[in-house]
Amino acid sequence: MRGAKQWKQLKLDVTAQEAPVDNFLTASGTFTDGDLRLNQRGLRLISEETQSSQSPNTEDVELLREDLEVIKVIGRGSGGTVQLVRHKGQGTFYALKGIQMCIQETVRKQIVQELKINKASQCPHVVVCYHSFYHNGVISLVLEYMDRGSLADVLKQVQTILEPYLAVVCKQVLKGLVYLHHERHVIHRDIKPSNLLVNHKGEVKITDFGVSAVLANSMAQRNTFVGTYNYMAPERISGSSYDCKSDIWSLGLVILECAIGHFPYTSTEQEGSLSFYDLLEAIVDRPPPSAPADQFSPEFCSFISACIQKDPKERLSSLELLCHPFIQKFEDKDIDLAILVASLNPPVNLDL
């Protein structure tokens, strides 16, 4: 059994943050850092403001906090609360994610980067962040509302997802990952069922990369980490360097969990859940989980094994996985995820 001391590297990895710095908050409640300016009226990247030749983007659309009426709380995460809100004028629904500000020097540098990515994101498989506000110590992100909640919500209702539907889910998540990895050159770092959102059209989108992930992580890491290590790749747990392939490991675990109906790492006795340190030890030291060949197609088993390899170099990239036989197998079968989600209870009833 690995002792707490041996996980020192991990602890360093997740707690290595500098002391909080507050001097970037002006008396007027504006948060500035380099080219980032965030206040009650919203977010601006000053460098982009000065580049007047650039075409207008979503940040330029006037979206005021007072125009958003709160309908109800739809979720709570480690960083804060997610509310369903409606724009009083447009009638459009958004998800408003509020995160308590507690930003440290290194983190705010990351935020500048991440906001640029968020602003520039143009991928149908990544949740859009339309606007951000800063007010009274809380950063609020106005996100595209995904009316069928997360894959975690779906799983609670269906227990398992059949291979044809999983191929459709996978393909969409992979397209989002191809965009993040190969176009934006960013690692998501927190692929898990609650960060894969679904809507009534059967669209699946990745959320919580960028600002909210950075903020939530910095919050969670200050004292006790309250997020989950469940989907974290072995190289991250052991404190080694990591790259986009760590997201592929996480995706493989999520998809395997959807197929078998429970988190793939279990204790040997009665498939119970592992304690925190046992889980970390299992991820780092045990052979990786795989899909049982007697219950799943060879294509599915091969896909899972192409993702869940302990050596990141052995894992396929998001681009390579898009061409995997498991994804291609159902390509011309016209599988409609909207039909599956329509049969489930929506997280929020919008017959208001």
List active site positions.
Answer: 190
Answer yes or no whether residue 202 interacts with ligand ATP by CB under 6 A.
Answer: no
CB closer to Mg ion out of 39 and 207: 207
Three-state DSSP at 42 gives strand
As a whole number of angstroms, the distance between CA 186 and CA 114 comes to 9
Residue 259 contact among Mg ion, ligand ATP, none, beta carbon within 5 to 8 Å by kind: none
Q: In this structure, are residues 319 and 177 in contact, taking their beta carbons and an 8 Å threshold?
A: no
Answer yes or no whether residue 58 interacts with ligand ATP by CB under 6 A.
Answer: no
Query: Structure tokens of 46?
Result: 């000053």
Answer yes or no whether residue 149 interacts with ligand ATP by CB under 6 A.
Answer: yes
As a whole number of angstroms, the distance between CA 237 and CA 218 comes to 17
Answer yes or no whether residue 264 interacts with ligand ATP by CB under 6 A.
Answer: no
Answer yes or no whether residue 147 interacts with Mg ion by CB under 5 A.
Answer: no
Residue 150 contact among ligand ATP, Mg ion, none, beta carbon within 5 to 8 Å by kind: ligand ATP
For residue 16, the one-letter residue type is A
Residue 197 contact among Mg ion, ligand ATP, none, beta carbon within 5 to 8 Å by kind: ligand ATP
Instruction: State the residue for tokens 């000053």.
Output: 46
Answer yes or no whether residue 216 interacts with ligand ATP by CB under 6 A.
Answer: yes
CB of 319 to ligand ATP, least distance (A): 26
Stretch that binds ligand ATP, among 13-21, 50-58, 190-198, 336-344 (CB under 6 A): 190-198
Residues in Cβ contact with 49 at an 8 Å cutoff, skipping those fewer than 6 apart: none
Instruction: State the residue for tokens 């992580």.
Output: 217
Site for ligand ATP in 118-147 (CB under 6 A): 127, 143-146
Residues in Cβ contact with 176 at an 8 Å cutoff, skipping those fewer than 6 apart: 123, 125, 126, 204, 205, 206
* Residues of the shown chain interacting with Mg ion in the complex, contacts defined by CB under 5 A: 195, 208
